[in-house]
Amino acid sequence: YVEGINNQTKVIKRNAFGFGRFDRFRLKVLLHHQYKDVKIRIA
């Protein structure tokens, strides 16, 4: 199970090459894995 999560995250990382902000990449990964407690701080 964990290897599958790691593989999916690596695939997202390869596809997200053009992301300028790390927080957006992080949110994309968390939402893909259906993490419900996503905390967003808007600065």
Spatial distance between the Cα atoms of 42 and 24, rounded to a whole number of angstroms:
11
Are the C-beta atoms of 33 and 5 separated by less than 8 Å?
Answer: yes
d(C-alpha 20, C-alpha 13), whole Å: 12
pLDDT computed for residue 43 by the predictor? 56
**For 22-33, b where at least 16 C-beta lie within 10 A, e where not — what string?**
eeeeeebbeeee
pTM (global) more than 0.75: no
CA dist., res. 14 & res. 36, Å (int): 23
- The two three-digit tokens of residue 24, written as one number: 């957006």
Give pLDDT tens digits for 1-42: 778 888 888 988 888 877 788 888 888 888 887 765 556 666
